[in-house]
């Protein structure tokens, strides 16, 4: 990965029938800006070239540099091709620049620069960063279990939970920022294990969606111990959730503030998975007087109450974002997104809430926005429509609507399936 680069990483000829610069801005796990020269170049470019629209996109889970770059390029090419097919959508004077965020979202490393879904399975995962959080003795035992493909018993699982709980401050949670306890983690792992065995229901709302078959000896009947890979994957979900908020708050916020205060360009924010948390946290903490033009969240790995006016007597952490964007926030969701529809709420819930009663058709308080859509806004503040097909009109919404859920049951077949004709069409409509 480059240490820094000055100026755009590339330019694209013919995008939106013009030449569009593509910048990549990097941040470390604490949100420190690692590309100051590139950011300064971007700011000068926006002013000098009289850029009208800044497309600012943050990748999500397990994207390394080449994977994120390829996905950004696919998005930019896709939205441009859609614009060419439907030239009436964009204003003639639109002159855009594209900015892709790079942040360390690869705690788990897969081969060949792949970027699998949350809790995906791979036989060659590198759990090094998570193992480093364990005490030496516990680390050695877990590493041996991983090597041998063996389950860990409840005693070792508890020691793992005690070590990991101390590393999960959970400071950037959208609805409950109290730290996770070892018991919270153990209960979450048990719930995930039951889900993999097909014994746990979804969070509610939609019809059941089948779980993948567990793998190997660990799925044998009668074994109720923990797969160490599942433990570390689940803990990583929480670790990365917090990191996304930190990167947004400590790093991206300052970048967005500069774009909003030092330029007149319209700012369009896009985020996929935990990237949705990166851009919303960034806008939340930017502190700029001028509003962003639009926010589009693709399969957001965020609590569905993040924008709620009342979560146990307090507003959801992201609620102020609704008043800091000109247009309603758009968020896709899909019951075909296995990680967000079947797993997220199990990993994120607390032991103290295990007695939570979910009414028929209702949704768990820990359910993901990208799995279940907006649920708990004030009357009239949210609306849900089917993710429109390419060329179909986005029906005008009442002025009070501030969060528009796009049901991607037809069009989004998995957590990473957000580079497609329907999502490009939705993004293009934000640039009107």
Tell me the mean pLDDT in the region 359-377. Answer: 82
What's the Cα-to-Cα distance from 419 to each of 96, 396, 428, 431, rounded to whole Å? Answer: 19, 24, 13, 17
Kindly give the pairing relationship between strand 18-26 and strand 10-15.
Answer: antiparallel
- Kindly report the pTM of this predicted structure: 0.87
Residue 197 has a pLDDT of 59
Ranges 32-46, 271-285, 357-371: which has the least confidence: 357-371
Residue 112 has a pLDDT of 32
Residue 125 has a pLDDT of 55
Q: Is residue 280 pLDDT above 90, yes or no?
A: yes
Split at pLDDT 50, 70, 90, the class of 107 is low
Q: Is residue 344 pLDDT above 90, yes or no?
A: no
pLDDT, tens digit, 9 for 90 and up, residues 311-343: 888 898 999 999 999 999 999 999 999 889 988
Tell me the mean pLDDT in the region 166-191. Answer: 79
The residues with which 271 forms a beta bridge, in sequence order, are 58, 297
Q: Is residue 227 pLDDT above 90, yes or no?
A: no
Joined together, the tokens standing for residue 305 give 């109450």
Alpha carbons 214 and 197: distance in angstroms, whole number = 7
pLDDT, tens digit, 9 for 90 and up, residues 39-72: 999 999 999 999 999 999 999 987 888 889 999 9
Residue 176 has a pLDDT of 73
Split at pLDDT 50, 70, 90, the class of 355 is very low
Phi-psi region of 201 (alpha: psi -120 to 50; beta: other; left: phi over 0): beta
Alpha carbons 101 and 34: distance in angstroms, whole number = 11
DSSP character for 18? E
Residue 93 has a pLDDT of 92
Alpha carbons 168 and 130: distance in angstroms, whole number = 11
Ranges 161-170, 236-245, 346-355: which has the least confidence: 346-355
The residues with which 55 forms a beta bridge, in sequence order, are 98, 268
Alpha carbons 211 and 343: distance in angstroms, whole number = 10
Ranges 64-73, 114-123, 137-146, 166-175: which has the least confidence: 114-123
Ranges 100-109, 136-145, 242-251, 328-337: which has the least confidence: 100-109
Residue 361 has a pLDDT of 55
Contact indicator for 131, 143 with CB cutoff of 8 Å: yes
Joined together, the tokens standing for residue 241 give 């959730």
Residue 229 has a pLDDT of 82
Residue 6 has a pLDDT of 83
Angle at 281 between CA 181 and CA 274, to 5 degrees: 65
Q: Is residue 275 pLDDT above 90, yes or no?
A: yes
Q: Is residue 208 pLDDT above 90, yes or no?
A: no
Joined together, the tokens standing for residue 422 give 């329907």
Alpha carbons 46 and 95: distance in angstroms, whole number = 10
**Crossing angle of helices 182-196 and 228-247, rounded to 10°:** 120
Q: Which residue has the tokens 């950004």?
A: 72
Joined together, the tokens standing for residue 319 give 């609620």
Percent helix, strand and coil across the chain, each rounded to 5?
40, 15, 45
Tell me the mean pLDDT in the region 141-163. Answer: 90
Split at pLDDT 50, 70, 90, the class of 128 is confident
């Amino acid at each position: 990965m480059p240490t820094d680069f000055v100026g755009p990483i590339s330019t694209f000829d013919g995008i939106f029938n013009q030449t569009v610069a593509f910048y990549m801005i990097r941040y470390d796990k604490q949100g420190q800006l690692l590309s100051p020269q590139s950011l300064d170049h971007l700011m000068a470019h926006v002013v000098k070239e009289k850029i009208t629209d800044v497309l600012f996109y943050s990748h999500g889970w397990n994207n390394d540099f080449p994977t994120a770059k390829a996905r950004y390029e696919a998005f930019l090419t896709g939205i441009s091709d859609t614009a060419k097919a439907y030239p009436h959508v964009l204003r003639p004077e639109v002159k855009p620049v594209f900015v892709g965020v790079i942040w360390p979202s690869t705690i788990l490393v897969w081969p060949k620069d792949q970027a699998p879904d949350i809790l995906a399975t791979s036989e060659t995962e590198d759990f090094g960063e998570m193992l480093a959080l364990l005490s030496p003795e516990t680390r050695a035992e877990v590493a041996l279990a991983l090597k041998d493909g063996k389950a860990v018993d409840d005693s070792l699982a508890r020691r793992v939970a005690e070590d990991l709980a101390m590393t999960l401050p959970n400071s950037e949670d959208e609805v409950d920022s109290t730290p996770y306890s070892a018991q919270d983690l153990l209960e979450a792992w048990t719930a995930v294990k039951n889900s993999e065995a097909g014994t746990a229901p979804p969070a509610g709302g939609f019809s059941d969606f089948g779980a993948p078959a567990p793998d190997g000896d660990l799925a044998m009947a009668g074994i109720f111990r923990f797969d160490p890979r599942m433990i570390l994957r689940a803990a990583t979900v929480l670790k990365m959730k917090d990191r996304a908020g930190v990167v947004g708050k400590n790093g991206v916020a300052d970048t967005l503030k500069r774009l909003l205060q030092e330029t007149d360009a319209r700012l369009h924010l896009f985020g996929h998975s935990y990237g949705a948390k990166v851009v919303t946290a960034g806008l939340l903490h930017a502190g700029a007087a001028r509003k962003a033009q639009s926010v589009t969240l693709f399969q957001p790995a965020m609590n569905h109450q993040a924008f709620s006016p009342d979560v146990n007597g307090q507003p959801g952490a992201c609620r102020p974002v609704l008043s800091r964007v000109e247009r309603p926030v758009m968020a896709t969701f899909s019951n075909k997104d296995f990680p967000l529809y079947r797993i997220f709420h199990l990993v994120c819930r607390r032991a103290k809430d295990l007695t939570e009663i979910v009414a028929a058709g209702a949704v768990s308080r820990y359910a993901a926005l990208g799995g279940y859509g907006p649920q708990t806004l004030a009357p009239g503040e949210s609306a849900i429509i089917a993710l429109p097909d390419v060329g179909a009109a986005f029906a005008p919404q009442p002025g009070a609507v501030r969060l528009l859920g796009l049901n991607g049951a037809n069009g989004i077949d998995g957590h990473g399936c957000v580079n497609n004709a329907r999502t490009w069409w939705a993004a293009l409509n934000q640039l009107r």
